[in-house]
Structure 1
Amino acid sequence: MLAFGRIRLGILASVVLALGLVPMALAGRARAGESHAISMHGAPALPADFAHMPYANPDAPKGGRLVWGLLGTFDSLNPFIVRGLALQQIRGFVVESLMSRGNDEAFTLYGLLARSVETDDVRSYVTFHLDPRARFSDGKPVVADDVLFSWALLRDRGRPNHRQYYAKVAKAEAPDPLTVRFDFGGAPDRELPLILGLMPILPRHAVDPETFEETTMTGPVGSGPYRVTAVRPGASVTLTRNPDYWGRDLPANRGLWNFDEIRFDYYRESNGQFEAFKRGLYDFRNEAEPLRWHDGYDFPAARSGELIRDTIKPGMPQPSEYLVFNTRRPLFSDVRVRRALTLLFDFEWINRNYFFGLYTRAGGFFAGSELSAYGRAADARERELLKPYLAHIPPDILDGSFRLPMSDGSGRDRAALRAALALLSEAGYVLDGTVLRQRATKTPLTFEILVTTRDQERIALAYARDLKRAGIEASVRAVDPVQFDQRRLGYEFDMLQNRWDQSLSPGNEQSFYWGSQAADISGTRNYMGAKDPAIDALIAALLEARERPEFVSAVRALDRTLMSGFYAIPLFNVAEQWIARWNRVERPSTIALTGYLPETWWHRPDAQTK
């Protein structure tokens, strides 16, 4: 239900703000119960009078240009809809949210468009009090009517995650032009106030709901520090810093958004992208290929120090790569088949021969953090949560003794092959000469592995070689990044490589990753098609948790359930961020918990802009 009151709030707000009639209660001190920040668990780390984020340099000089090199292409500047391939950095750089993340904490938000936030102990509602200074880039004030408009628009026409999250609001209303209240109707979701705090705010006066779901090359009107000033379709997007940006002096923004111009250049192919970087055509890259990081930076600029390589160890769960089974396909519907195919992946051989031993791997989805269940026995809270579903949790996953198979590294491990064939036999498959066939129908076990990068192809080809020893024919299909994304979003694949980045405070997005409802909606990240009541129940449990210990137990129980489904083959964990940058770009000495943050960087004043 959308309640606008007895008057048109947008008109009232414009009149009130234009005449400078903002009541002192709105522009002055916070009311009782209001706070400058909100945390998922515990209290915010920074006090109300904090000066700047600890990972930002408040004295960073302004000026210069930062050039990003992105792989792929784009056909839209609207990242809030399913259709098209959009420049994701529009969010944050151009379009702001009500609050901003504190990147040194698991999940804490600080004031941005909303100068304060208010909720109760059970979080049955949340109220945001807007900063009366907030303006869109066209000079129009940001008012409660814009917030209500954005909520309703994204709930009805936005991406699947927006529709899923914002539909949980039972009632939204604006008591005055600078206040918005969302009531949740008793839904047990303690994260929802923070989810709404991260809602992108769009101007009612500049957005047509009827055309919102169409791709566009027109830069949106936002309230953020940058405006879209140039677009070369499929090639580049240029953002220019708004000299009249309303929020430049906010504590959360001090030391951020330092470049006068940011340009995003697109490259269709990864080798060409790297060659462009070596020539200095863009300023930094987050290196994802160990082979390249190990021996690909032996060129003059790297040797002279003109190019800097940073190895950063963030405090988040380690990003992990997986080969994902599409369980919507009948051949992957049996967990015994998925477990057998996991046994046949020779990580030790691939890590030694392709990645110089730089990678490790873990069996779950929260590797290297307290949230991971891999190698840990379930505690009493976990066992209570898992009690209705214990029949589907293998004992070794429950007691923490489960380990991913470790081969002899020869590429021809016979023990793994025997164990895999035994499982496949249980699932109804038998070797017919050199071909593995379904016993009843004689249908051979064959599938396609979809890839888009050189590293993905090398891994897939090595895996296909090992599968061949078991009589399984896996073809490797290499496609360009655009086609790869389209097929992944539409679940048009048998198996592909994917990475899920996790935080220290997983929440509603877990439903988007592997909730039952998401399995049937195009554009979600439930690529494996998981549909398990246990997963849904454990996501609900982590959302209901009020204290950190019970939250950790709920996440670990979810991790055990995901491991038990063998929905994906863990390939490797990335314990470090490998960042290469030209020395014309400088960064703060303090690194955030989340790792590198280009928005905190600046252009060296004595360096020439490329």
Structure 2
Amino acid sequence: MVHAEPKHGIAMYGEPALPADFKHLPQANPDAPKGGEIVFAESGSFDSLHPVITKGNPPWQLRYMIFESLLGRSYDEPFTLYGLLAETVETGPNREWVEFTLREEAAFSDGSPVTVEDVMWSYEILGTEGHPRYLGAWGKIEKMEQTGPRSVRFTFNTVDFELPLIMGLRPILKKAQWEGHDFQASGIDVIPIGSSPYVIGDFEPGRYLNLERNPDYWGKDVPFMQGQMNFDTIRYEFYGDGDVVFEAFKAGEANTYRETNAEKWATQYDFPAVQSGDVVLSEIPHKRPTGIQGYVMNTRSPQFQDWRVREAMIQVFNFEFINQTLNGGREPRIQSYFHNSVLGMEVGAPATGRVAEYLSAYDDLPPGALEGYALPASDGSERNRAGVARALDLMAEAGWTVQDGVMKNEAGEEFTFEIVLNQGATQDRQVIDIYAASLARIGITPTISAMDSAQYTERTNSYDFDMAPYWRSLSLSPGNEQRLYWGSAMVGENGSRNWMGVESDAVDGLIEEMLTADSQEDFQAATKALDRVLTAGRYVIPIWYSDVSRVAHVKELHYPETLPMYGDWLGFQPELWWYEE
């Protein structure tokens, strides 16, 4: 009989790397001074301060910077959590339940204590009225009960070894604040109260937002927080256009800027502030999967239900030419969803061993999942003759041919589709303009619709698009979020991340295999198999990735010498940075 016992942390596999008496996270600098300001320039806008519901367009950072959770994640480990609002976590022998005990001193920013009642209410309201990202885990809770003055237990109705960790990461809200308010109403009338080191200060919708340090923050002595959240003010300045954001940084209106374009980094960062040393150019390496970034095809649209059409769209996309034009050819291409990591598939090679065993259980595998699949590579010329020829063959197999210069079916109906873009996304527009010229070579003229960020969010949340820019970060510990990204249950749920509309027994089954794996070896094999099915499904036209992040910042902004394995990702900036003259 295995007896559970309260612990200071929990890992997805094995034990946490840090001992119970750890003083700080290894990537945090406990001696970092407090004070100063970090200013971000952001493209887009916001019209809501309520980041845990579907409606509205809140700054995405609020979800992480205002609310705390029972446990906090260390991004120097694949998936390990340590006590934050909770001082201990305890699980059943088979993780069939999890119990958290709150710290006695845990408090909201208004000074009121964080109670078990707040915790239970937060889980229920998020699970029933919150954003779809919270619904899946809530449906797996058989019972939620208070087990002591500061303890709450969740008992599960399904086998899912990740659930205890997921339960530790839910944002905790103050129940009393929402009495008499419609929780699902978007807007700026209710300023959310959290327990984090920051409170919402001055703001103007669409223009700027200040987060101010709470001088009475309850958790200043918690080990997990040592060396974190060091700024007095975190400010977000909003601009309507991506190019304006960079110019705002150069003009000193922001003091940090993350560059995603390698060519621009190499050629446009010699302005006076860099030459004088007032602005520092930092390259920060990482060991995380590429994730998937590119242009997603919505299979809810009849145009993209045939895999041959989707493969044709990939063949026409002249990556090598686009990469050379925009990046000077400096960036490698994303080859699969978990590329660049131990979880990624073997590109172009047949599945073997445990991976092949997992795949062989399914009858709905896309072509190439078992045999091997690789993205096409052009000769780098603008014409891309081989890709265009292959695309024409594939379209013909799917019933589409070029008639009088236009791609049509036997009924004479024209093949076209709409690409929606956020008008502030300059790089996406550059890519799509080149792509549209390539599509013209096979008789296709897409409609390109650029819109403001609020309309873009509304359109993509309701899947009202044929093709759109798409980015999903993936970690070294993928779990329940995979259902939200590409699970069948999410196809009809507005606001999910399954933009491509995947409905696949293989995808659903492999996610389950991944979640219930009882060894690291099976977990990796199931994830590699999932990677094969998603990639061979040809839902996304992938672009490039960087194995470093490029951050330009004023010389007064610093980050620790010890970098987390995830690098410049969640939990890095602004959490670990500090300001020092």
Shorter-chain TM band: over 0.9
Which of 400, 420, 429 aligns to 1:429? It is 400
1:556 counterpart residue number: 528
Matched, 1:294 2:273: no
User: Which secondary structure state, in structure 1, belongs to the residue aligned with residue 454 of structure 2?
Assistant: helix
Contact 1:515 1:530 in 2 (8 A): yes
For 2:386, which of 398, 407, 415 is the aligned residue? 415
State whether structure 2 residue 462 is matched by structure 1 residue 460: no
Name the counterpart of 1:68: 40
1:157 aligns with one of 95, 114, 129? 129
Q: Is 1:451–2:421 an aligned residue pair? A: yes
Structure 2, unaligned runs of 5 or more: none
State the number of aligned residues: 571
How many Å apart are 1:348 and its aligned residue? 0.9
Deviation at 1:377, TM superposition (A): 4.0
**Residues 319 and 574, structure 1, Cα contact 8 Å, conserved in 2:** no
- Any conservation in 1 of the 2:258–2:552 contact (CA below 8 Å)? yes
Equivalent residues in 2 for 1:73-152, closer than 5 Å: 73-152=45-124
- Say if 2:4 and 2:91, in contact at 8 Å, map to a contact too: no
In the alignment, structure 1 residue 565 sits paired with structure 2 residue 537:
yes
Matched, 1:205 2:213: no
- Alpha carbons of structure 1 residues 102 and 141: separation in structure 2 relative to 1, 3 Å: same
* Pair 1:498–1:32, CA change in 2 (3 A): closer
Give the TM-score of the pair, scaled to structure 1. 0.91
* CA displacement 1:519-543 (0-9 Å, x = unmatched): 1111111111111111111111111
Partner of 2:209: 237
Q: Provide the rounded CA distance (Å) in 2 between the counterparts of 1:96 and 1:502.
A: 22
Counterparts of 1:296-335 in structure 2 under 5 Å? 296-335=268-307
Is 1:259 matched up with 2:231?
yes
Letter in 2 for 1:444: E
**Shift, 1:294, TM fit:** 2.1
Does structure 2 retain, via aligned residues, the 8 Å contact 1:77–1:90? Answer: yes
Q: Identity over the aligned pairs, expressed in percent? A: 41
Q: Report the CA distance between 1:35 and its aligned residue.
A: 0.9
| Residue 37 to residue 299, structure 1, CA distance change in 2 (3 Å) | same
1:191 paired residue number? 162
**Cα distance in 1 for residues equivalent to 2:251 and 2:388:** 47
Contact 2:297/2:539 (8 A) holds in 1: yes
Query: Which one of the candidate residues 356, 362, 377 is aligned to 1:406?
Result: 377
Given that 2:82 and 2:224 are in contact with CA atoms closer than 8 Å, whether structure 1 keeps it comes out as yes
Aligned counterparts of 1:476 and 1:557: Cα–Cα separation in 2: 35
Residues in 1 aligned to 2:231 and 2:429: alpha-carbon distance in whole angstroms: 37
* Distance apart, 1:437 and its partner CA: 0.9
- 1:51-88 Cα shifts (integer Å, max 9, x gaps): 11111110011111221222111111110000101123
Q: How does 1:536-551 map to 2 (within 5 A)?
A: 536-551=508-523
- The 1:278/1:319 distance shift into structure 2, 3 A limit, reads farther
User: Does residue 442 of the first structure (1) align with residue 442 of the second (2)?
Assistant: no
Q: Write the distance in 2 (CA, Å) between the matches of 1:353 and 1:265.
A: 30
Distance 1:583 1:481 in 2: 32
Across the aligned residues of Structure 1 and Structure 2, the Cα RMSD in angstroms comes to 1.6
Work out whether residues 219 and 227 of structure 1, in 8 Å CA contact, stay in contact via their aligned partners in 2. no
The whole-number CA distance in structure 1 between the counterparts of 2:523 and 2:511 is: 10
Which residue among 458, 462, 469 is the counterpart of 1:490? 462
Which 10-residue stretch deviates more, 301-310 or 215-224? 215-224
Q: Is the 8 A contact 1:323 1:496 kept in 2?
A: yes
- Whole-angstrom distance in 1 between the partners of 2:24 and 2:173: 26
Q: Are 1:384 and 2:354 counterparts?
A: no
Q: Indicate if the aligned counterparts of 1:319 and 1:575 stay in contact, CA closer than 8 A.
A: no
Pairwise mapping of residues 262-277 of structure 1 onto structure 2 (< 5 A)?
262-277=234-249
Matched, 1:503 2:475: yes
Query: 8 Å contact 1:457–1:476 — kept in the other structure?
Result: no
Considering only CA atoms, is the larger Rg found in Structure 1 or Structure 2?
Answer: 1
Q: Which of 570, 579, 603 is the matching residue for 2:579?
A: 603
Report the secondary structure of 2:88's partner residue. strand
Q: Which runs of 5+ in 1 are unaligned?
A: 1-30
Query: Contact 2:417–2:466 (CA<8 Å) still a contact in 1?
Result: yes
Structure 2: distance between partners of 1:519 and 1:57: 43
Whole-Å Cα distance in 1 between the matches of residues 496 and 545 of structure 2?
23
Please give the secondary structure, in 2, of the residue aligned with 1:473.
coil
Give the partner amino acid of 1:446.
T
Alignment correspondent of 2:502? 530
- In the superposition, relative to structure 1, how do residues 454 and 93 fare at CA in structure 2: closer, same or farther (>3 Å)? closer
C-alpha spacing 1:241/1:561, structure 2 compared with 1 (3 Å): same
